[in-house]
Structure 1
């Protein structure tokens, strides 16, 4: 018998992250065979064409110019006031919705997801997400004693599956009074899919119908971690306008992260932004989430918050950052376009890619396919329903021919 003194809720927990495991295997192969011989498609961060980790030059310049006091001092639990103001512009752009709005600083985008699960679901209740999802969603739910369920994201025509979403929402609200729906768009992780404006209209129609049922509340958590690499900056933000004027028992929370848009992955800085037609709901939103911040990390990274506030308060700095983002957006798009073209040519099935760091290949045996790809020194991430390719991290020269090799591995494994 294994000795354990952990509390009952903690027994048996262990983090076995497939993404970091796949990356470790790629790093080991590169050490053995040389970096040029290895394709590492596991990393959820931008690498340039020489496979160096990218930091936006203007972001680095602003960050390194901060005075020591800004680098080391505590920040308020809720976040620096200037940050909380500027992060609304960073998130919404010209599409700020009508209503009562407030932001709470969080430890990356993950921190906001944590708070939403903890504060809007009771123990034993279930969060809802699509069947293609970032694995940490489920880990967060499991750790806090909440359940996690999914609906089929795409129908047989690879269109957003509104009927499946409605059926699952109806099923959940027959069992619990609060619905927490985790929706990752635009530039969905792990598929690169983005909901259209019509899709979002359909989602909100379903949520309003659900909220009309007596005693029911709806929380829509919109995870926009990849929005700054999702397309033209104002166009992809138009969905936010749709969050205004919703019933008082529908709370929209936008999960914003500095990890990707500012290339500050390890600084763990983000915000959860509440939008409601009711002032009391937003007052409660700020109160309970600040309280949970105090009870977890206390306060977050001051210099990263100051960096965002400085950039979004200076038009010249902001324009420079926008140009730098667009350069890397175009770089990632070129990689995805080439993979998509070659996938079509060789008959490799893939989910519809719009934008973002990743694209996905549906497969019955993803673990076996990824293992087979190791023979070609290609490293990808096996998911429950397929294989994730991080086009953000693979230079164009290594993208060439990659789809055919993935297809060959799939044929060898699934024949």
Structure 2
């Protein structure tokens, strides 16, 4: 049986209540528990959501409790989306935190500019694009992490009731961020039958939205996609952009690519992973690219909540519009961002010696991550565990049915993973090589056990 902490149902008189969206009207559910009368609600209707815990944090808490009781050596905690050392401790780069601790108190405590400090905004462009700065007008606005960049883009470049397009394997907060403002996530199939990028599915979904909406807002999480570790090849980017150009011939259509690069600094090759940025140069004026930059992974600064939304456009007017729209949203939502984190990044990026030392330290961790991923992928192939194509990044995904039941079964062997709609997510970033080697056979056994159990129940 699946643990009640994992699956939360809201039922009344045996009928399951669900949350649904219509194009411009959100229907929200009322909260019931079995056998209770309806209680007083004080929250506004648009703020009433199911009372459920985040499944990732819930499973992570259970894994940490198991580690306390059994010892870290006897638990595989593959739930954490952060880089951990071989003993299961959070990695914090010395070059980053030595710099942070050297900052003057005023550089940490003072208010920052609404749009972000000027030196930070220039440094963000350098570290984001490196040698592949696109041609056009480039504007950056600070945000609290990559999540804040998504919120800025979704709020300012979609209308209420719009569909937002992303792949069927995606980071679940895309739904939370968009549905809170009355938008709806629609997906295309990320992989075709040969496990290549499914451009045909992308094109079909893209054109379907274009036939219904003025704006076609698409989230593309690459390179080192969460949760699969996949990266869109350059030749597939060419097809995507050619499609956008074709649709943009209709001047009434507005095409927005949001490129979520949260994991780009843990792609194997810093330069090769950035070549695709040049493809956004000199696009039609009604095609806008917004890059979501984050300090969380590349600078091991998860809790500092620092990022940026960066626009790329061939139109000066569109870039100015982006800047003022986003600054207004910053003021309305979080006012200003973490000044200390901005100063930290600026100091490292703008000092050649510091940036070189930072890059060398980061590369050591990248090599560790690559070894772990290679061990997992190799062992998965050896034991016959089907996984999605991994290229780079923190996660590997395993397609399966009944993912929550499989995850719960694995907890019996003290292996904790994250269940997704269509499979399982294993965080190679958080698991040492030895555990990455034994995990695939454990997962394979759990999958076969749940499958046989399901078949038995059907009979």
Q: Describe the superposition over 1:17-47 as per-residue Cα deviations: whole angstroms up to 9, x where unpaired.
A: 2211110110121122222111100000000
Partner of 1:203: 240
- Describe how 1:127-276 pairs up with structure 2 within 5 A: 127-276=164-313
Equivalenced residue count is 415
In structure 1, how many angstroms separate the alpha carbons of the residues matched to 2:262 and 2:132? 17
Q: Describe the superposition over 1:116-138 as per-residue Cα deviations: whole angstroms up to 9, x where unpaired.
A: 11111111111110000000001
TM-score, structure 1 normalization: 0.99
Q: CA deviation at 1:213?
A: 2.5
In structure 2, how many angstroms separate the alpha carbons of the residues matched to 1:234 and 1:334? 20
Q: Which of the numbers 383, 387, 394 marks the counterpart of 1:346?
A: 383
In structure 2, how many angstroms separate the alpha carbons of the residues matched to 1:359 and 1:178? 32
Q: CA deviation at 1:100?
A: 0.4
Q: Which of the numbers 289, 295, 304 marks the counterpart of 2:341?
A: 304
Q: CA deviation at 1:12?
A: 2.7
Partner of 2:102: 65
User: Unpaired runs of 5+ in structure 1?
Assistant: none
Partner of 2:14: none
Q: Describe the superposition over 1:140-167 as per-residue Cα deviations: whole angstroms up to 9, x where unpaired.
A: 1111111111000000000001111111
1:115 aligns with 2:152: yes
1:39 aligns with 2:69: no
Higher Rg of the two aligned structures: 2
In structure 2, how many angstroms separate the alpha carbons of the residues matched to 1:302 and 1:63? 11
Q: CA deviation at 1:15?
A: 5.5
In structure 1, how many angstroms separate the alpha carbons of the residues matched to 2:39 and 2:58? 25
In structure 2, how many angstroms separate the alpha carbons of the residues matched to 1:405 and 1:335? 16
In structure 2, how many angstroms separate the alpha carbons of the residues matched to 1:15 and 1:71? 35
In structure 1, how many angstroms separate the alpha carbons of the residues matched to 2:195 and 2:247? 25
8 A contact 1:169–1:210 mirrored in 2 = no
Q: CA deviation at 1:202?
A: 1.2
1:323 aligns with 2:343: no
Runs of 4+ in 1 over 4 A off after TM superposition: none
Q: CA deviation at 1:302?
A: 0.4
1:51 aligns with 2:88: yes
In structure 1, how many angstroms separate the alpha carbons of the residues matched to 2:279 and 2:437? 40
Q: CA deviation at 1:14?
A: 4.2
Partner of 2:394: 357
Q: Which of the numbers 78, 84, 88 marks the counterpart of 2:125?
A: 88
In structure 2, how many angstroms separate the alpha carbons of the residues matched to 1:231 and 1:92? 16
Q: CA deviation at 1:187?
A: 0.2
Q: Describe the superposition over 1:182-207 as per-residue Cα deviations: whole angstroms up to 9, x where unpaired.
A: 00000000000001110111111111
TM-score, structure 2 normalization: 0.89
1:313 aligns with 2:353: no
Q: Structure with the greater relative contact order (CA < 8 A, sep ≥ 6): 1 or 2?
A: 1
User: Unpaired runs of 5+ in structure 2?
Assistant: 1-37, 453-459
Q: CA deviation at 1:13?
A: 4.6
8 A contact 1:58–1:321 mirrored in 2 = yes
Partner of 2:26: none
**1:392 counterpart SS class:** helix
8 A contact 2:251–2:286 mirrored in 1 = no
Q: Describe the superposition over 1:236-293 as per-residue Cα deviations: whole angstroms up to 9, x where unpaired.
A: 1101000101000000000000000000000000001000000000000000001000
